[in-house]
Each structure stands twice: as structure tokens, then as C-alpha cells.
Structure 1
């Protein structure tokens, strides 16, 4: 009989994928970098396939690594659920969670549902505000956990998801070619807004901010009505939206990252439980259907599997 996969090695494997590097993964799993490398060599020996390939100064998943990724997520999730099911010391108390309303719309239903089912005695208190406001609340100790847009300049959150950022417009209302780009975006401190404006400035493309709101519903409504263009992560495309590419005169955008902030002093059992649930749920989010002309951009994100036609996701 073949030897089973090692749970600890799979944890480390997922940490490398989530953080994007062996060095950052070592910090997350509390191991030395050499220990992380050794674990991956042993995992590759166990699988009999190469899981990572050199890509410049970093590493990327091979096709076999992508195949293992899905199994690893499921194995870890089931392992955690099994342990929780037989834990006589049931978690209790209140967990204060912060999230922007676009993430609440998109990710929180599964996170809340899965967590409440496993830990029915924990009260969840949810606050919906922009990422900047949530970071301030975390600093004041008013929240325990916050799901935010990760700002690489500040590095105050741990990255739990990375995906392409796309220009989007209405599929039914084409833009006027000779007019400045009409934008519907978040407030001035919104990172997505800053990325969009910086890209247009660098490209010499004229634009005008017509709609400003921290509400994803308002911004999406402006886009779907054909009144403005906005930027969205790939997984958040809605039916009726069109991805705008270089062929439409729009410059490329850098990827966006979702980060997790944790309050120091939070009960380790509560922290581990909600962190595991959030990570597992984010990994289950499928990207929307993307046109073929985006293939060049999406190849940089091999871990984002394609959804089948008709499975466009309905959240921001």
C-alpha cells in the first residue's frame, strides 16, 4: 500500500502557493527556509513529480503542482473539519470580523455558513467598511480579524489570495472612442482606484471620475448601465460586463491581493479556526468566464482555473 501524504508537508506546500515564495512560507509555518525546501523535496519524491519550476528569481507551480493544489486544499480542509467535529472543547465567544462590502458580498456567505456550522457557539459580529477604515479599527483593537485589500507598501496583512485586476465596462453599451474614460471607482484612498488612475496616467489616456462610492453595488450599477468603466478582480466579473483589454485601448493592470489582518492577543484556537475557514473558502471561489483574448494575461496566474461557460460569478 502506498504511504499517505504528509499533512505537514501539504500545509507547507499551500503556504508557498499562498505567499508566493519559500521565504515567506517559512515565516508562515514557523520553519527555516532549508526545512521548507527539504519538505518540498520529500513531497516531490512522494508524488514522483516535480511540483515547482524556476521562473526568473522565483518559482511557479508546474502542471503537476497545479493538480496537487486542489487535492491539498481538500485534504487540509477535511482534516481540520474532522478535528473540529471531535473537539470536546467547543469554541465559544464573539469574533469581530471586518470586511469591505464588496468582499462581504462576494466571499462572506460561504465563510459565515461554513464557520457557523462547525462552530455554532461562536457569535460573529460583522463590520463592513473600506479597507483603510478597517485597518484603523484593527489598530485600535476594535476588530479581531479583517479581510482587506492587501497594500504591498504597508505590508500590514498576510496575503491569502492573488488574482488579475481587469478593466470592465458594459457588454451592451459601448464607450465613445473620442471621450475621456468615464470612471466609477472607490474613494481616493481605494487601492484599486489608485492603480486604475496610475495606469491611465502612465498611458497618457484621458479620464474623468464620474462616480465615487465605497459601495460595490453602486459602482457595478454604473458600469452595467454603460455610464462608466471600473476595475474588478477576475473572480468578481458580473454577467453583462465586458473585460476591456489593450485592443480597447486600456493599459495592463498589476494583480491585486486580498490580505488578512489578525489582532494580536486573539485566542489562538479562534484565530486558527477562522483563518482556516477564510483560506479554504477563498480557494473555492471560481474565476468568471474570461474571453480568449485575455489568455496572455491569465497565464501569469495558473492557479486560477477557468470556469465553464455559463458559470460567471455574480459577486464583485
Structure 2
């Protein structure tokens, strides 16, 4: 019979993962170090696998321990979501939420679906617009909350994620090997476009802008079909795409930040709840979870 995992054990396990030691984890979960050790021994007994290995005077995760981290995060998050559904007061209201379409169709549907389950009386109206438009509309109070990409004059006090920008090509084609490489990139004025063109000019690579669009779906379609090479946030790499690295002759494009922006004035409880939910959901995305999508 498959045993049931204790959420309290998993929370202690994640505290060890997040703090890097049994001692700091004990402080985090308000337990003694010996109690933490006993909990981890119990967790190993339940799973029938060693989760920790001695490394000098310290302990490190075994491969099984590393595998458990993401499962534990998902289980704890689902547990907390379920409990919160019944414990927190019912919020009501409407939130006007904006996001660039780069993020709108990959993770936000599931993130917003989870929010709807825990806050069924809150209506979220979503507008997909580019960051510069969202920035201005939110400043004017036309949007309650917006997810924006930092760059140029856009920056907020609520960063939620730092993300690499990566080169992508079709997994079924060799478009990146063409003598004059076709590019699919965003519209003029976008910082990602400037970053891509500057990187290619610096390497002396011959290219032509074959597809230019403010709509990320159009750019992604050109890449996936083998018509062009593009650059997307790592979290937005799609099935059918292959990431190109320096081994393929493509220079690093660096990282950028994603953050939340609120309209001026005091936010409603519904806006605060959605902001917290989006920030936690995006912040908890790991490379392993992204690759599994």
C-alpha cells in the first residue's frame, strides 16, 4: 500500500532546501534541530530512499532528495491552496489585469484558473497588450494590475522573476545555419529586438529581419515552422523549439526582469490577492518545471 506523505514533513524538507542547512531550517519551522532530523528520518522511511548524504560535517541531498524538492513544492502549494479556500474570507470585486501576450498563453491560464478556484467571487478581466502600453494605461488608472517586462523606462517596485532571453530555432529545421539568417523578432522599439540585433551586429553574423510583429504568437509560429530564428524568454520556449547556445555560435543575450505594476492609490484586497498569487506562482517556476511543460 502506498503511504501518505505528511505535509508537515514536506514543509520541513523544503525549509532545508531553501535555507541550505538543518540548523537554519529548524529556526524557519520553529522546531529543534533534533526534531528536524527525526522528521527527515521519518520521511526517508516513508519513501524507502535516503534523501541526504553526509558531506564532511554537513549534509547534502542525494539524487532522490533533489527529485523530491519539486514534488514537495507542488504538494505543499496545493495543500495551502486547498486550506486557504476554506479559511480566508471571501473576496469580491473585479480586477482589470494586463499582461504582454508573451506570458499570456503559457502559464497565466493555469495561474488564473487556480486563483478563480480560491477566489470564486473575484472577476478578473484580462487585456493582452505590450509592456509600454500597459505601463501607460496602469499609470493612468485604466488597469488595476499589470505584469510588465522591465526595460527602457519601465520598472516597478515589485519584481517577481528574473529570466534569461534565449535564442530559439525549429527543432526540425536548420534555419540557423543559413548564410543569411532570417530573423523573427518583436516590433521596433522593443528592448529585446535591440538586444538581438546588437548581439548579431557584434558577432558580424549576416541576417535579415524576415518577420517583425508585436504579437509573440506570430513570432513563435515563424520559428516553430522553420521560417526564422528568434529570441524568447526561457520560460516561453515551446514544444518544437530548440534553444541555441554559444556552442552553436550564438552569444548570450543576458537576463531581464518581470514585475507587477499597480495603478496609483490604495489597491483593493482583490488586487492585493491577485498580485500575491501571480508573484508567487511565477516566482516558483523552476527550470525543471518549465522544461516539463
Q: Deviations over 1:19-56 (max 9, x none)?
A: xxxxxxxxxxxxxxxxxxxx88933985679xxxxxxx
Gap change, CA 1:259 and 1:152, over 3 Å in 2: farther
TM-score, normalization: structure 1?
A: 0.66
Partners of 1:156 and 1:267 in 2: how far apart? 15
Q: 1:102 maps to what in 2? A: 102
Residues 1:149 and 2:149 aligned together:
yes
Q: Deviations over 1:169-191 (max 9, x none)?
A: 11222136463332111112223
> For the Cα contact (< 8 Å) 1:144–1:266, is it kept in 2?
no
Residues 1:42 and 2:27 aligned together:
yes
Q: 1:289 maps to what in 2? A: none
| Pairs aligned (count) | 252
Partners of 2:206 and 2:288 in 1: how far apart? 34
Q: 1:212 maps to what in 2? A: 212
Partners of 2:269 and 2:77 in 1: how far apart? 16
Q: Deviations over 1:239-274 (max 9, x none)?
A: 222221223221111123321112243435223311
Residues 193-232 of structure 1 mapped to structure 2, 5 A cutoff: 193-232=193-232
Partners of 1:83 and 1:178 in 2: how far apart? 54
Gap change, CA 1:117 and 1:258, over 3 Å in 2: same
> For the Cα contact (< 8 Å) 2:168–2:231, is it kept in 1?
yes
> For the Cα contact (< 8 Å) 2:183–2:211, is it kept in 1?
yes
> For the Cα contact (< 8 Å) 1:150–1:157, is it kept in 2?
no
> For the Cα contact (< 8 Å) 1:115–1:277, is it kept in 2?
yes
More helix by share: 2
Q: 1:292 maps to what in 2? A: none
**3-state secondary structure, aligned to 1:164:** strand
Q: Deviations over 1:187-226 (max 9, x none)?
A: 1222322221222223232322221111122111111222
Structure 1: gaps spanning 5 or more residues: 17-38, 50-61, 286-302
Q: 2:5 maps to what in 1? A: none
TM-score, normalization: structure 2?
A: 0.71
Q: 1:182 maps to what in 2? A: 182
Say which one has the larger Rg.
2
Q: 2:124 maps to what in 1? A: 124
Structure 2: gaps spanning 5 or more residues: 1-7, 41-59
CA-based RMSD of the aligned residues comes to 3.6
Gap change, CA 1:109 and 1:76, over 3 Å in 2: closer
Q: Deviations over 1:116-175 (max 9, x none)?
A: 112122121111101111111111111111112223864325221223221011122213
Partners of 1:276 and 1:132 in 2: how far apart? 23
Gap change, CA 1:159 and 1:70, over 3 Å in 2: farther
Gap change, CA 1:97 and 1:187, over 3 Å in 2: same
Gap change, CA 1:264 and 1:280, over 3 Å in 2: same
Partners of 1:184 and 1:147 in 2: how far apart? 23
